[in-house]
Amino acid sequence: MAAMAAGIYPLCDLRKGCRVEGTGEFLAPPVEERPAPGPGRYFYFDLLRALALLRVITYHTAGESWLHYALPAISVMFGLAGFLMARSLRQRVAGRVVGSRALRLLPPFWLYGLVAIAIGWETVDRHGLHWAQLLFWVLPLRDPHEGVAGSNLVDTLWYVRAYLWFVLLSPLALWAYRRARMLVLAAPIALLPVVEFLDDGRDWAGRGLTRDILTYGTCWLLGFAAEEGAIDRLAGWVCVAVAVPVGAVGLVLTHVLGAALGHRSLADQTGYALWSAAVVLTLLRWHPETSWLRGLPGVRRVVSAMNARAVSIYLWHDLAVVLALGLFATLGLHVTRWAALPLVLVLTALLVLPVGWVEDLAARRRPALVPR
């Protein structure tokens, strides 16, 4: 994967520029070197990612839609990933960065796919086998197919697909962002209602991917802005003056005007994109003091472990939800989905424990049962 990525971006080094082959021209100006954030800032980002993962698990267990707005978890994870991607692109050649990021994502995904295929979640339905779908378990540029079993154990894989596409598009997106910052930041949200209006419920190849890229694209690009220092340079009152009206418009679109506009999907998607961008902007601008939290017994270890196993936690938590709810049903215990959450968290940890070492290999760390 790294070699393939280096072939796609052979002349791109975003620290110095992208040379146009045969002309000697650079497409990007030099970017000033900036020191890495301090340990407190990185811990804050790690804490945000851990909280986002917990929110994802909670939503898939409890099924409460308000959780999407309490903390737009996927949006936050994309924003943090955009920050780290931009930092890597500033420090290393684009092709190597793309290959490295893809390789850190794919091995845990491949392991999950092997289990899914072995059990038959993906390949078997009433029409027989769908071996062509196996290609998307190798390189998930599209969602792998879900068979007739209807287990819903692959309904979260859209995030893997979208993340991979964001990684592939990041060198070009960062180049564009440095030339027209506000225009590029606003472009995904501006294009989203146009695509939703033209779509009008029709099913077409790439529909889901296009919607995801446009819905979360501004959050990923805000990560670029944070890494470049643009968000830190915003005065606090300016951040509030931007985030509050943007978020308010998003909530009004989703919860007030959706039915009135006669196009619920357009209002919901655009409204959520606006709300997500407002929350991500606020969280990336906020610089809370976290030293007291890092000093609490076990907190730093748990946060670090969750970040080291983030992909595995995301992939396997859905199975933990199915197992927990199935266990309660088998025992005849009628509990609320909220009451099932502690068991889901325990089962997620138990499922990740024997498979998480794959993330160590992908990150070129020494494999460990429990990450240090």
Strands (E), the chain: 12-13, 17-20, 25-26, 124-125, 128-129
Please give the structure tokens belonging to residue 205.
């190849």
Q: What's the token pair of residue 294?
A: 């890092």
Contact criterion met (CB below 8 Å) for 271 and 259: no
Say what angle helices 73-91 and 94-119 make with each other, to 10 degrees: 140
pLDDT by 10s per residue, the chain, length 372: 555 455 545 444 444 444 444 444 434 444 444 555 656 678 999 999 999 999 999 999 999 989 999 999 999 999 999 999 999 999 999 999 999 999 999 999 999 988 877 776 554 454 455 566 678 888 898 877 655 344 566 778 899 999 999 999 999 999 999 999 999 999 999 999 988 887 766 666 677 889 999 999 999 999 999 999 999 999 999 999 999 999 999 999 988 876 666 667 788 899 999 999 999 999 999 988 888 888 888 899 999 999 999 999 999 999 999 899 999 988 888 888 999 999 999 999 999 999 999 999 998 888 988 887
| Tokens coding 219 | 């959050």
Cα–Cα distance for residue pair 78/75, rounded to 1 Å:
5
Give this prediction's pTM. Answer: 0.87
